[in-house]
Structure 1
């Protein structure tokens, strides 16, 4: 099982890519290969080979892609049947307006960061997004080294208080 970094959209979209190693890192220098986000599905486009959708968590919109045609990745027909059934379940969960938790591998497509989906779960708890925000802030402070969201809020407060002087 792979670990997934809990990130806000602003952090995920701000990851930098090393073109030589194709790895991603946060502004604090931590490497990220898999991520988890929670937000609302605001766009959805289905094609023959993939489902592309955007998840908005209030800090930004993360492009996500769920590959539907994964025959080239699986060599056993029993695994292919299992994967096809699982993929169809994920497709059904990705409805416009749904609050979802998405896990996947961080990738770049046409110069933009995206999430290649491995799991989609509909959130039933209306507080899930707020809890995710709090967990992301806590992890950013304790584990990731810094919290870009809090730094942005501090800069805005300083700007406002500086204008009042």
Structure 2
């Protein structure tokens, strides 16, 4: 995968997310197999924990190969990071995040997209999009797509 694809969400299983290694040359990028510019990932799994605070929702996804912690920030209205955006964009982000947070329940199958990073020595996804899957086949279809991609595109050794 070349640098032009660094903003693409790599579809990965949790075990592969935990196998990502920090890039020696690029900040906030990771590598695995021949993927050398991973900064965003997509995974699908069952929500196994949920911890709501005022500023964030922290939850864990289990896809059968392991668990990964996800965090969704809910403080767009008061965060200095979002102050550079116009107020309508901030309000939209805030409403979307709060709506998605309400849907995140233990036992639900969810598709999580976001930025991957190290936090306290472990991999974590800062979620930008969480969709509760209604299709009972969504998780297995994600697994199959990950296997295909790991063999044909990412060249990840099992």
Give me the TM-score of the superposition, normalised by structure 2: 0.87
Cα RMSD (Å) of the superposition?
1.5
**Aligned counterpart, 1:135:** 145
Per-residue deviation at 1:81?
1.1
Q: What CA deviation, in whole Å up to 9, does each residue of 1:70-123 have, x standing for no partner? A: 332223221111111111111012111110000000111111110000000011
Question: Aligned residue for 2:134?
Answer: 124
Q: Greater Rg, structure 1 or structure 2?
A: 1
1:26: which partner in 2? 32
Task: Check conservation: 1:16, 1:27, Cα contact below 8 A.
Answer: no
Structure 2 gaps of 5+ residues are 1-6
Cα drift, residue 5 of structure 1:
0.5
Match of residue 22, structure 2, among 17, 34, 38: 17
- Assess, with a 3 A threshold, how the Cα gap between structure 1 residues 122 and 3 changes in structure 2: closer, same or farther: same
Higher helix share: 1
Q: What's 1:52 paired with?
A: 58
Counterpart in the other structure of 1:159: none
- Residue 152 of structure 1: aligned partner: none
Q: Of residues 1, 10, 15 in structure 2, which corresponds to 1:5?
A: 10
Contact (CA 8 Å) 2:70, 2:127: kept in 1 or not?
yes
SS of structure 2 residue aligned to 1:12: helix
Question: Hey, what does 2:125 align to over in structure 1?
Answer: 115
**Equivalent residue number for residue 103 of structure 2:** 93
**Which runs of no fewer than 5 residues in structure 1 stay unpaired?**
149-165
Which position in structure 2 is the counterpart of 1:104? 114
**Alignment: residue pair count:** 147
What displacement does 1:29 show? 4.9
TM-score by length of 1: 0.83
**CA contact under 8 A between 2:32 and 2:156: conserved in structure 1?**
no
